[in-house]
A and B are shown apart, each in its own frame.
Chain A
Amino acid sequence: MTKPLLVAENISKYYDGRVACEKVNFELWPGEVLAIVGESGSGKTTLLKCLSMQIAPNAGRVLYSLRDGRTESLSDLSEAERRFLMRTDWGFVHQDPREGLRMGVSAGANVGERLMAVGERHYGRIRSTALDWLNRVEIAGDRIDESPRNYSGGMRQRLQIARNLVTAPRLVFMDEPTGGLDVSVQARLLDLLRGLVRTLGLSVVIVTHDLAVARLLSTRILVMQQGKVIETGLTDQVLEDPQAPYTQLLVSSVLQV
């Protein structure tokens, strides 16, 4: 019997008494891609940070179904368990790849780091796994020993994705993964992401202000305005037939371009 991978219950976060996000509830099922959309300041990034335990919510909790079958509230996990989760079962793709990469070490080491962190001690195997992953994210194998400083923005982003996926995480958080890229580069990255998500059966929570990204990648969508979820549903349905006036506005202003 399957159960949700992640459950958000009444997540609220306030800054100086101002609402950043309030009473957010949803379930994320295995293999599902959930897009959180809204304009900047709508609270979507705060929500993502609460879900991934980068900040503590003021109220509510996040339940996560661990690999061993237990379901735990993330705030009840010890720091050791949380950090282990972050480098094995989870991935986090930052908008700025420099935040997610070690810019001072080679691409191969960037991909290999998580393997070494979980105890892999065979150089040859680490290297061939890294090569395999570079190949999967369409980076030429002969660039494995280069620093990501030499890479273009799109390559860095693909390297960051490889670095995250190498330990076969079950859940990946993405914060505007195509945000800083040119339109043509964005399209290629989205294509790649869609392929990886499908073949690996990843569960993803992706934050984006771009409804086109949401439409291409996500199965379900959650629309936020001023810290609150104002509409939620299957992506196709919401985008075809938005109910909330704000969603209607978003859809009409963006998708017709």
Chain B
Amino acid sequence: MYVAVKGGEKAIDAAHRLLGEERRGNPDIPEITTTQIGEQLTLAVDRVMTEGSLYDRELAAVAIKQARGDLIEAIFLIRASRTTLPRYGYSTPIETSDMLIRRRISAAFKDMPGGQILGPTFDYTHRLLEFEASETPAAPVETGPADLDRTMPRVLDLIGAEGLIEAASSTSGEPGDLTREPLAFPADRDLRLQSLVRGDEGFLLALGYSTQRGYGRSHPFAGEIRYGEVAVSFTPEELGFEIEIGAIDITECEMINQFKGSAGVPPQFTRGYGLSFGQCERKAMSMALVDRALRVRELDEEQTAPAQDEEFVLSHADNVQATGFVEHLKLPHYVDFQAELELLRRLRREAQGLDQEAAE
């Protein structure tokens, strides 16, 4: 006698215990601490904060550990936790020109006020595995004269004076909030940028890359990439004035792109903008390329490539959404599958029936 499948609950509990065991690995090896992750896997932490939409290094480190290093899973943990947080209000806009610079480069100018600051970067390293990777430096790295003024003007502001580049768009009115109102199409740039910041690094990288290869070409120059610390301020209603509540590390990328001009607008350079928490340089650059590509409508350009298709890009950029829906295929679908089986059998029976009639 057949008995219907039972015991789902027990199986799930056992699977989760096994997961815990696998996560810990060999108990003879010391357990990794979240402090170590926060200090030594900083770029993983930065990515989880950026795409998780929550600036909290400690929580991100906890998430990475719990996710066994699966960053999309860690981002997912952060997002779910973020849902439960009450919203007290909005900070005043951060001012990136007042950034305490740790890195600042421009590919458009050889030199500019403030100079090129390389800072901590993989650029120009030879990608040779260092097997003796004890990285404790013998002595602290000399980063320049102590009195170096690390606040410096943004490169695009320097050329903006000549009118060669469009003004940084200041949207009239309050920017929207993607996490409070569902995205509707067509979406304005404020919402597009919010979407892109949360978007998957790999997806944006591939799309940005595609624009360079001719699918929606926009001739970009890395006008400026800067990374460092900016102050975050908040104006409590009951006080009525701004108070500084902390500082965050961010990366900002401003791309300069060609623009042929259109009705009433002479040819000029246009902007693509990228921003991330921490040092997610690849992400900020990709985002800037895609931001520019998505401006086809406002710049009256022809939409020909995937990266310019707002509904396509924004609907598929979020890796928490994407991974959920792809992985949901693991869930039971046997009711629908049964419906398809029944249909297919019937269609085949009918097809055979028809064949027989034809043969008679």
Q: Which residues of A contact B (CB under 8 A)?
A: 15-17
Contact = CB atoms under 8 A, between A and B. Distances in A.
B339 interface: no
B171 interface: no
B236 to A, nearest CB: 46
Contacts of B264: 16
A interface: dominant SS: loop
Contacts of A15: 263
5 contacts: A15-B263, A16-B262, A16-B263, A16-B264, A17-B263
A15 B263 CA distance: 8
A26 B151 CA distance: 67
Contacts of B263: 15-17
Interface residues of B, number: 3
Nearest to B261: A16
User: Which 5 A-B pairs rank lowest in CB-CB distance, beginning with the nearest?
Assistant: A16-B263, A17-B263, A16-B262, A15-B263, A16-B264
Nearest to A17: B263
Nearest to A18: B263
A17 B264 CA distance: 9
A74 B237 CA distance: 51
Nearest to B264: A16
A15 B264 CA distance: 11
A17 B263 CA distance: 8
A16 B263 CA distance: 5
B268 to A, nearest CB: 16
Nearest to A15: B263
A16 B264 CA distance: 7
B302 to A, nearest CB: 14
B336 to A, nearest CB: 24
Nearest to A14: B263
Contacts of A17: 263
A20 B263 CA distance: 14
A73 B262 CA distance: 31
A17 B261 CA distance: 14
A56 to B, nearest CB: 15
A44 to B, nearest CB: 22
A17 B262 CA distance: 11
Interface string B260-275: 0011100000000000
B263 to A, nearest CB: 4
